[in-house]
Amino acid sequence: TLGMKVEFTPVTDYAASVEALANKQVDLAWYGGFTFVQANVRSGGKAIPLVQREEDEKFRSVFITSDPGIKTLADLKGKSVSFGSPSSTSGHLMPRSFLLQANIDPDKDFKRVAFSGAHDATIAAVAAGKVEAGVLNISVWEKFVADGKVDTTKVKAFFTTPGFFDYNWTVHADMPAAQREKLTQAFLSLDRSTAEGREILDLQRATRFIATKADNYKSIEQAARSAGLLK
């Protein structure tokens, strides 16, 4: 253990978490890949990602629908589709990027684009028929399926994206290097074979933590700029 006092600071949304780190109101933040990129830009390159879950090296998003006629991304043309939060890496940015690569422009090709605000809300919107399809991060989808919180006879996943780097624990560059190293080692040393380690890793839906670096998120930054989501 580090013997450090920890104070949890809840934030209202993605933008608030970016401001909190940039203004040094928090020392450590849990970010999705795109939110990290926003924090790094907002802080003038002062955001340092320390670690990510092993799963975050090849994170994926999943497209879901309750319409039996939708079987491919091309079938989404002319349909109503929900993303999560506009700032979500796995709920908006990367799915949008993969759609554009498939020559599908959400702003022109979809009947309507909705933003549910959260991954679980996207599932709810599709299940309730408010939209014909949606996209969310795969770990939330898999947890809902495993917990029986979604009727998979009605709502089905029909496309899984290629992998991309996603979530990380980030600190402000003004944190002393020795303290950054201690925090990093604390994450890297979490072990599923101990009760405490397993509890923490399960809480984060992680097998283990691995080191990461800012360069891993360059492709997300490029996707954000090409989608006009980062100025």
CATH number, domain of 46, equals: 3.40.190.10
Same domain assignment for residues 92 and 127: yes
- Decide if 28 is inside a domain: yes
- Decide if 1 is inside a domain: no
C-alpha R_g of the chain: 18
Name the domain boundary from 121, 140, 160. 160
Same domain assignment for residues 50 and 77: no
CA distances for 58 relative to 8, 95, 184, angstroms: 28, 14, 20
What residues make up the domain containing 87?
A: 60-160
> What does each of the 231 residues of the chain score in pLDDT, given as a tens digit?
688 899 999 999 889 999 999 999 999 999 999 999 999 999 999 999 999 999 999 999 999 999 999 999 999 999 999 999 988 889 999 999 999 999 999 999 999 999 999 999 999 999 999 999 999 999 999 999 999 999 999 999 999 999 999 999 999 999 999 999 999 999 999 999 999 999 999 999 899 999 999 999 998 998 888 878 887
This prediction has a pTM of: 0.78
Same domain assignment for residues 71 and 144: yes
Number of domains composing the chain: 2
